[in-house]
Amino acid sequence: MSEEQPQKQVENVAGPSQEAPEGAAGPSKSALKKQAKEEEKAKKAAERKRKEDEAKAARAAADSVDVSSGSYGILPLHQSQDDTPMLPLKRLATVGSGDVGKTVSFRARLASLRQQGSKLLFCEFRQSIVSIQGLLELNENDSGKPLVSKQMMRFCSSSIPESLVLIEGVIQAVDRPIQATTIKNFEVHISKVRPSHNTFRSLL
C-alpha cells in the first residue's frame, strides 16, 4: 500500500496542468461593432481625400491651359514690333444699330473697371467725350462666344484706369439703357485686350 500512494500524488499534481485555462473568451460584440465603425469611418475619410485630390489636380490642369493665349497682352513700345492682325480702327461716335453682331476694333482710354464675381468684368472705354461699356465674360469652352480664360480675366482686371488700350470685340444691343456711358443702347463684348506697354499694373 505504501508504493501506491506516491503514484496517486503524481497524478494529482499533473492533473490541473492539463485543463484549459478559464476566462480566455474573444472580444465582445460591442467591441467588434466599435472596431467595424472605426474602420468604415477611416475608409470613407480616405475615399473623400482621394476625390478631393483628384478634383484639385483637375482644377490645376484646367488652369494651366490658356484658351485665350494670343488674345491679350501688352502692346510693344514700338508698334512695328506687333505683327498681330487687327481690324481697321473704329470711332466710337459712329457705333449704331448697323454694327450689332459685328466685330470691331478701337483704341480708347480705360475710364473705369468693375468686377462682378469671378466671371464678369465691366469696363468703360472713352474716346474724347464718347464712351461705351465693355463686357469681359469668363468663357473657356463655349465656341459661340469669345473665349476668355481665367488668365485673361486676371490680366484685364489689373489694367490701370485711364490707360490706353486696344480693344477688339462684338457690338451687342442691351436690354436696358446704360446710364454710365454716352452710348446707351449698345455695348462691346470683348474678345481681345492690348494695353499700352506702360499702363499695366503688376499682378503681384
Using an 8 Å Cβ cutoff, are 123 and 136 in contact?
yes
83-126 pLDDT tens trace: 555 678 999 999 999 999 999 999 999 999 999 988 999 999 99
Whether pLDDT at 137 is above 50:
yes
In percent, the amount of the chain with pLDDT more than 70 equals 74
Using an 8 Å Cβ cutoff, are 72 and 152 in contact?
yes
**Nearest partner of 104 among 25, 33, 182, 171, judged by Cα:** 171
Q: Is the pTM of this model over 0.75?
A: no
Contacts of 41 (CB under 8 A, 6+ apart): none
Q: How many CB atoms lie within 10 A of CB 150?
A: 17
- Give the containing element (helix H, strand E) for 173: strand 164-173
What is the pLDDT averaged over residues 67-94? 75
**The pLDDT of residue 80:** 46
**Nearest partner of 164 among 84, 203, 106, 90, judged by Cα:** 106
147-185 pLDDT tens trace: 899 999 999 988 888 889 999 999 999 999 999 999 999
**Nearest partner of 181 among 114, 106, 126, judged by Cα:** 126
What is the pLDDT averaged over residues 15-29? 60
d(CA 152, CA 168): 14
Whether pLDDT at 200 is above 60:
no
